[in-house]
Chain A
């Protein structure tokens, strides 16, 4: 089976940098994706890592270490609109298994 762990809540101030960690235990692994979900809305795709290393997309970056079964999402220059839930998802055999999500609160 698959299990993922990520912190339930993170708080940061506007303009700061925040890192959301995700550790996983899986029977199979193809890659790790990250999604953002505002309250009551649809999750939206942020990034995907299949190989070790850092992927950068604007203010957001995602990192993967396959040997450590660990990844993180890095959000820079935080804005109020970044307040949302963030989910990591392990991809295997055409399916995604999601973590329980990290609620990020950005304060002025």
Chain B
């Protein structure tokens, strides 16, 4: 079945440690996106990539980094510079670059203690 896979579903890390969240898609989509969701709030864009080896900052990129070495993969690293990293992280992909319809993974809930 085609889709987007995020792993792991739950992740715990100690403060000060970097952590990488995985996102893989087999939908052959060009564009991929990372969002952060805090309780009771909408999704805020962290980074997005519309083509391999290229990506752009979203609205809240500080403290995060990404890479897009393969079309299928768009990992997100939450660095120690991110001041409040505990959140629900959602990866999405879209056909083309218009982003009119995004397909989301099941999310990773990151807790930093």
A interface list, Cβ under 8 A from B: 4, 8, 30-31, 33, 35, 40-45, 48, 50, 87, 89, 91, 94-101
Contact = CB atoms under 8 A, between A and B. Distances in A.
B104 A43 contact: yes
Interface string B81-110: 000000010100000011111111111000
B44 interface: yes
Interface residues of B, number: 26
B100 A91 contact: yes
B104 A94 contact: no
A42 B100 contact: no
Contacts of A101: 40-42
30 contacts: A30-B100, A31-B100, A33-B100, A35-B102, A40-B88, A40-B107, A41-B106, A42-B90, A42-B104, A42-B106, A43-B90, A43-B104, A44-B104, A45-B101, A48-B101, A87-B42, A89-B43, A91-B100, A94-B31, A94-B97, A94-B98, A94-B99, A95-B45, A96-B43, A96-B45, A96-B102, A98-B44, A100-B40, A100-B42, A101-B42
